[in-house]
Amino acid sequence: MDKNNILYMLLAIFSIIIFFHPKGVISLMNNQNELLKQEKEIKGLKEEIKSLEKKINLLKYENYEPNNFKKLEPYFRKKGIVEKNEEYYNLQENNN
Protein backbone atom coordinates (compact mmCIF):
# COMPACT_ATOMS: atom_id res chain seq x y z
CA MET A 1 0.00 0.00 0.00
CA ASP A 2 1.02 3.50 -0.69
CA LYS A 3 1.64 6.03 2.12
CA ASN A 4 -1.08 8.30 0.78
CA ASN A 5 -3.66 5.50 0.81
CA ILE A 6 -2.86 4.71 4.45
CA LEU A 7 -3.11 8.38 5.39
CA TYR A 8 -6.47 8.74 3.59
CA MET A 9 -7.81 5.63 5.36
CA LEU A 10 -6.67 6.94 8.75
CA LEU A 11 -8.20 10.33 7.98
CA ALA A 12 -11.50 8.69 7.03
CA ILE A 13 -11.51 6.53 10.19
CA PHE A 14 -10.74 9.49 12.47
CA SER A 15 -13.38 11.66 10.83
CA ILE A 16 -15.99 8.89 11.32
CA ILE A 17 -14.93 8.48 14.96
CA ILE A 18 -15.11 12.22 15.58
CA PHE A 19 -18.49 12.47 13.85
CA PHE A 20 -20.17 9.65 15.81
CA HIS A 21 -18.32 10.00 19.13
CA PRO A 22 -20.62 10.83 22.10
CA LYS A 23 -18.96 14.23 22.34
CA GLY A 24 -18.63 14.59 18.61
CA VAL A 25 -20.33 16.73 16.02
CA ILE A 26 -23.74 15.00 16.08
CA SER A 27 -24.12 15.30 19.85
CA LEU A 28 -23.10 18.97 19.69
CA MET A 29 -25.76 19.62 17.04
CA ASN A 30 -28.39 17.81 19.14
CA ASN A 31 -27.41 19.81 22.22
CA GLN A 32 -27.68 23.04 20.26
CA ASN A 33 -31.17 22.10 19.02
CA GLU A 34 -32.28 21.33 22.58
CA LEU A 35 -30.86 24.64 23.77
CA LEU A 36 -32.75 26.56 21.08
CA LYS A 37 -36.01 24.78 22.02
CA GLN A 38 -35.47 25.64 25.68
CA GLU A 39 -34.77 29.30 24.87
CA LYS A 40 -38.01 29.52 22.86
CA GLU A 41 -39.90 27.90 25.72
CA ILE A 42 -38.38 30.31 28.25
CA LYS A 43 -39.32 33.29 26.06
CA GLY A 44 -42.91 32.03 25.81
CA LEU A 45 -43.11 31.51 29.57
CA LYS A 46 -41.80 35.02 30.26
CA GLU A 47 -44.47 36.48 27.98
CA GLU A 48 -47.10 34.39 29.75
CA ILE A 49 -45.87 35.63 33.15
CA LYS A 50 -46.15 39.26 31.99
CA SER A 51 -49.69 38.76 30.73
CA LEU A 52 -50.70 37.03 33.98
CA GLU A 53 -49.21 39.87 36.04
CA LYS A 54 -51.28 42.35 34.04
CA LYS A 55 -54.42 40.28 34.65
CA ILE A 56 -53.65 40.11 38.39
CA ASN A 57 -53.25 43.89 38.56
CA LEU A 58 -56.58 44.37 36.79
CA LEU A 59 -58.34 41.89 39.07
CA LYS A 60 -56.97 43.58 42.20
CA TYR A 61 -58.89 46.75 41.45
CA GLU A 62 -61.99 45.08 39.98
CA ASN A 63 -62.70 43.28 43.26
CA TYR A 64 -62.78 46.52 45.27
CA GLU A 65 -65.61 48.95 45.08
CA PRO A 66 -64.11 52.35 44.29
CA ASN A 67 -65.60 54.09 47.34
CA ASN A 68 -64.39 51.44 49.77
CA PHE A 69 -60.93 51.43 48.24
CA LYS A 70 -60.63 55.20 48.56
CA LYS A 71 -61.62 54.94 52.22
CA LEU A 72 -58.97 52.29 52.86
CA GLU A 73 -56.19 54.05 50.97
CA PRO A 74 -55.16 56.44 53.81
CA TYR A 75 -55.09 53.48 56.20
CA PHE A 76 -52.77 51.58 53.84
CA ARG A 77 -50.45 54.56 53.60
CA LYS A 78 -50.29 54.95 57.40
CA LYS A 79 -49.26 51.32 57.70
CA GLY A 80 -46.71 51.62 54.87
CA ILE A 81 -48.59 49.33 52.51
CA VAL A 82 -48.12 50.60 48.99
CA GLU A 83 -48.19 49.16 45.50
CA LYS A 84 -45.03 48.00 43.78
CA ASN A 85 -42.95 50.93 42.41
CA GLU A 86 -45.04 53.42 44.41
CA GLU A 87 -43.50 55.89 46.83
CA TYR A 88 -45.12 58.11 49.41
CA TYR A 89 -44.16 60.55 52.12
CA ASN A 90 -45.90 60.64 55.47
CA LEU A 91 -46.02 64.37 56.29
CA GLN A 92 -47.02 65.64 59.72
CA GLU A 93 -47.78 69.21 60.67
CA ASN A 94 -45.30 70.99 62.87
CA ASN A 95 -47.19 72.87 65.63
CA ASN A 96 -44.25 75.05 66.76
pLDDT tens digits for range 29-81: 888 899 999 999 999 999 998 888 888 777 666 665 555 556 666 666 666 66
Domain boundaries, the chain: 3-79
Is the pTM higher than 0.75? The answer reads: no
Angle CA 33–36–40, to nearest 5: 140
CB 77 within 8 A of CB 88: yes
Q: Where are the alpha helices (DSSP H) in 1-96?
A: 3-20, 25-62, 66-79
What pLDDT does 64 receive?
59
Q: State the number of CA atoms in the 13 A half-sphere of 39 facing the CB.
A: 6
